[in-house]
Amino acid sequence: MSDPTPPRRPRHLMDPANPVRPVNDHNLTQVQRWVVSVLAVTTILHLSVGLVIGALFLDVDAVVSRVGVSIIGGLFGVVAVGVGLLIHQKPILSWWLLLGLVPGAVGVVLALQGVQF
DSSP 45-92: HHHHHHHHHHHHTS-TT-HHHHHHHHHHHHHHHHHHHHHHHHHTT--S
Look at residue 62 in the predicted model and tell me its pLDDT.
86
Q: What is the DSSP letter of 114?
A: T
Global pTM value: 0.76
Of the candidates 56, 96, 47, 114, the residue with the CA atom closest to the CA atom of residue 74? 47
- Cα–Cα distance measured from residue 27 to residue 6, given in angstroms and rounded to the nearest whole number: 35
| Blockwise average pLDDT, block size 10, the chain, 117 residues | 71 73 74 95 97 90 92 97 96 94 95 85
Look at residue 59 in the predicted model and tell me its pLDDT.
84
- Cα–Cα distance measured from residue 94 to residue 30, given in angstroms and rounded to the nearest whole number: 21
- Cα–Cα distance measured from residue 100 to residue 97, given in angstroms and rounded to the nearest whole number: 5
- Cα–Cα distance measured from residue 114 to residue 60, given in angstroms and rounded to the nearest whole number: 6
The distance from CA 66 to its chain's CA centroid, rounded to whole angstroms, is 26
Of the candidates 81, 78, 60, 74, the residue with the CA atom closest to the CA atom of residue 108? 74
